[in-house]
Amino acid sequence: MLVIDFLRHGALEGGIKYRGCLDESLTASGRQNMDKVWQCVQQNTTKIIASPLSRCAVPALAWSKEKGMPCVLDERVQELSYGDWEGLTAAEIRRNHPDQLEAWRADPTHLTPPNGEPMQQFAARVSSFWQELVLQQDGHVLLVAHSGSIRLLLAYALNAPIQTTRHLAMPYACWSRVEINNGQAQLVFHAKN
């Protein structure tokens, strides 16, 4: 059986914004909340995979060094590029791009943030990662990534449409677990923190 723990990065300096590919630092409490999840999973984890953005990579690399286990940084699980929305709050996006945020949240497959990454492109790279990951027959993987990539991965695990991903709560340091047994994925829990 393959066990995959999904951990979204913790809170970031500067408050809640659409950061996408911006590489910004965790707050002290954001890192502490991630460390709490690590304390729960470290005993059984055999491999860590993380987004290369520092909010995911820095804690993941520290944990792998601490335990002497492999850590792979994989660009395919990096967050969606929000283009012109990057660094903006939801209120700023609404003001600068009226009605687009709500339309995108309702169905991210039919709208791309201005100068951002199309959902089809994002989905293709995340799907490539997922297909490779599920080929593993057993082990316990900790994946440290972002709300967008984790939402997509959970949709793939559940055979759910991409549009449903917007209905998943994804707070900072959100912890979810999927077990894959004989090719069948099951969501064990979601949004534990």
- Spell out the domain ranges in the chain: 2-68+81-192
Q: Partners of 47 in the beta sheet?
A: 141
Tokens standing for residue 143: 């994946």
Helix %, strand %, coil % for the chain, to 5? 40, 20, 35
Q: CB under 8 Å to 128, separation ≥6 — which residues?
A: 76
User: What is the dotted CATH code of the domain comprising 2-68+81-192?
Assistant: 3.40.50.1240
Cite the DSSP H helix spans in the chain. 28-41, 54-67, 90-96, 100-106, 119-133, 147-158
User: Per-residue DSSP letters for 28-72?
Assistant: HHHHHHHHHHHHHHTTT--EEEE-SSHHHHHHHHHHHHHHT--EE
The span from the CA of 140 to the CA of 46, in Å, is 5
Could you tell me the pTM of the whole model? 0.96
Q: Give pLDDT tens digits along the chain (193 positions).
A: 999 999 999 999 999 999 999 999 999 999 999 999 999 999 999 999 999 999 999 999 999 999 999 999 999 999 999 999 999 999 999 999 889 999 988 888 888 999 999 999 999 999 999 999 998 879 999 999 999 999 999 999 999 998 888 888 999 999 999 999 988 899 999 987 6
User: Residue 97, SS3?
Assistant: coil
CA–CA separation, 72 and 136 (whole Å): 15
The tally of CA atoms less than 13 A away on the side-chain side of residue 81 is 13
| pLDDT score, position 163 | 82
